[in-house]
C-alpha cells in the first residue's frame, strides 16, 4: 500500500477545507492509498510561494515521508504557472506521484506524465519568448542610438585621483566630488594600472 499525503488550501478563512479532505480521503481509499499526512493552508492565496502547510508538505516530501500527493485541483498548489510548475517538477524529481481530483491527473500514468510534460513545455516556451522579446528590445534600442546599461560617470577623474594622492581621506574626496568611496578607490586603482602599463 502506497503512503499518500493530502494537501488542501482555501483562500479565505471562512471557506471550509473539510469537503476537500473528505473527497480526497475517498479518492485515496478507492486507489488503495494509506494517507499518512494531511497538510492545509487556510486563508492564504495560491499566488504566495511561501505557505506553512505547503512548506511542511515539501519538507516531508524531501525526507521521503510519502510517495503520492493528493490534491483537489492544480490551483490549490499554486495559481501562478511558474510557482505551480516548480512544485510539480520538484515532486517529480523526488519520485512522488501527483493525483489531482478535478483535472483527473495521475502522474503515474502515461497520460498524466504527458500532461505535466506539456505544461513544462509551454512554460519553457513562455520563458524563451520573454528572453527573446528582451533581446529584441535591446537590439532595437541600440539601433535607435539609445544607451544601454549604466551611464558613464561624469566626474573629473584626474582631480579625484590627484586629491586622493595629495593626502585627502577617502571620505573627504568622495564628499567633495559627490561620488562614493568605492568610486574613488576604483579610479585611483585604474590610474595606477595605467601608469604601470605606460611604464612597461
CB distance 186 to 174 below 8 Å: no
Give the whole-angstrom CA distance, residue 109 versus residue 113: 6
Is 11 in the active site? yes
Strand order in the sheet with 34-42: 34-42, 3-10, 68-71, 97-100, 105-106
Write down the catalytic residue from 11, 45, 92, 107. 11
CB distance 82 to 123 below 8 Å: yes
**β-pair partners for 157:** none
**Secondary structure (3-state) at 6:** strand
Active site residues: 11
Amino acid at each position: 500500500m502506497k503512503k499518500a499525503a493530502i494537501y488542501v488550501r482555501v483562500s479565505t478563512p471562512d471557506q471550509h477545507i473539510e469537503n476537500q479532505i473528505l473527497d480526497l480521503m475517498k479518492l485515496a481509499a478507492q486507489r488503495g492509498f494509506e494517507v499518512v499526512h494531511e497538510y492545509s493552508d487556510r486563508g492564504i492565496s495560491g499566488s504566495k510561494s511561501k505557505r506553512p502547510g505547503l512548506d511542511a508538505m515539501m519538507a516531508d516530501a524531501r525526507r521521503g515521508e510519502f510517495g503520492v500527493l493528493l490534491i483537489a485541483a492544480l490551483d490549490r498548489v499554486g495559481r501562478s504557472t511558474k510557482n505551480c510548475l516548480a512544485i510539480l517538477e520538484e515532486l517529480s524529481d523526488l519520485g512522488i506521484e501527483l493525483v489531482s481530483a478535478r483535472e483527473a491527473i495521475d502522474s503515474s500514468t502515461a497520460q498524466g506524465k504527458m500532461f505535466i510534460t506539456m505544461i513544462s513545455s509551454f512554460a519553457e516556451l513562455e520563458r524563451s519568448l520573454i528572453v527573446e522579446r528582451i533581446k529584441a528590445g535591446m537590439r532595437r534600442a541600440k539601433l535607435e542610438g539609445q544607451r544601454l546599461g549604466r551611464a558613464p560617470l561624469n566626474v573629473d577623474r584626474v582631480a579625484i585621483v590627484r586629491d586622493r594622492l595629495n593626502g585627502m581621506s577617502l571620505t573627504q574626496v568622495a564628499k567633495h566630488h559627490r561620488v562614493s568611496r568605492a568610486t574613488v578607490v576604483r579610479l585611483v586603482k585604474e590610474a595606477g594600472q595605467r601608469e604601470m602599463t605606460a611604464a612597461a
